[in-house]
Amino acid sequence: MIAPATGPALAPVRAAIRQAARAEAARRLRSADARAAATLAGARAGAQLALRDARAAGTAEARALGADDLAGWQLEARTIVLAARRERYDEVRRQALDRLRRAGLEPTLRARIVGVLGTDADIEPVPAGGLVGRAGERTVDCSLTALVDHAMSKVAGRIEEAWT
């Protein structure tokens, strides 16, 4: 068996080996630190890119959803406005029919039909009010609903202006 070399002559060799081992350990530690720093920097850069992309995608999706919501709200508002206008139109029409029914217009309407179709015209009352006259293939509709609808169509532009 060989005795361990412990003599003073080997002390410089042991010191050199220790120094070389420490230098190698320090080099490997620096290399590992550099690799770890590079890996960490790459991970951070990747995370920042992923975060940027996620924010952009989220912003785009939010805009799209916001646009859809806005379009839905605009449609709902338009529907409400149109329903209110229709309600008001129907109310004005109903009031006009009521006034015409109370006005006792039958003699005036009869004279109008005779003036257009002649004295041989067949004149009949309309259940909703007013008269309809016929002579051959010609017809004069003086029903109250026809008269109100005609009057409402004449003022439709002014009604629209009042609503805007």
So what's the pLDDT on residue 3? 53
The one-digit pLDDT tens for each residue of the chain (164 residues) are 455 556 677 788 788 888 877 888 778 878 877 887 788 788 788 878 887 888 888 788 878 777 788 888 888 989 999 999 899 989 999 999 999 999 999 999 999 999 999 999 999 999 999 999 999 999 999 999 999 999 998 887 666 666 55
Name beta bridge partners: 143.
130
So what's the pLDDT on residue 141? 96
Handedness of CA 5, 11, 12, 17 (dihedral sign): positive
So what's the pLDDT on residue 135? 96
Q: Which residue has the tokens 């952009």?
A: 56
DSSP of 14-40, one letter per residue?
Answer: HHHHHHHHHHHHHHHHHHHHHHHHHHH
So what's the pLDDT on residue 159? 63
Pairwise CA distance, residues 55 & 58, whole Å:
5
